[in-house]
Amino acid sequence: TVNSEECIGCKRCAKRCLYQAPYFSETKMKTYKCDLCLDRLNNKMLPKCVESCLMQAIELKQEVELSNKEKNLIANNSLPNSGVIKPNYILKKIEER
Number of domains in the chain: 2
For residue 93, the model assigns a pLDDT of 56
Nearest 10 degrees: Cα torsion 6, 11, 16, 20: 90
pLDDT digits (tens, 9 = 90+) for 40-54: 899 999 988 888 888
Amino acid at position 58, single letter: I
In the chain, which residues have pLDDT < 50? Answer: 96-97
Looking at the structure, tell me whether residues 86 and 55 fall in a common domain.
Answer: yes
89 near 36, Cβ under 8 Å? Answer: yes
Looking at the structure, tell me whether residues 50 and 86 fall in a common domain.
Answer: yes
For residue 25, the model assigns a pLDDT of 86
Looking at the structure, tell me whether residues 44 and 83 fall in a common domain.
Answer: yes
Looking at the structure, tell me whether residues 97 and 55 fall in a common domain.
Answer: yes
What is the C-alpha separation between 46 and 42, in angstroms, rounded? 9
Residue ranges in the chain assigned as alpha helix (H): 12-16, 38-42, 48-52, 68-75, 82-85
Looking at the structure, tell me whether residues 14 and 61 fall in a common domain.
Answer: no
What average pLDDT is seen over the chain? 77
> What CATH number does residue 25 fall under?
3.30.70.20
For residue 60, the model assigns a pLDDT of 84
**Length of the chain counted residue by residue:** 97
Quickly count: other Cβ atoms within 10 Å of residue 22's Cβ. Answer: 19
Q: Domain containing 3: what range?
A: 1-33
State pTM to two decimals. 0.52
Looking at the structure, tell me whether residues 19 and 54 fall in a common domain.
Answer: no
Looking at the structure, tell me whether residues 75 and 87 fall in a common domain.
Answer: yes
Looking at the structure, tell me whether residues 55 and 75 fall in a common domain.
Answer: yes
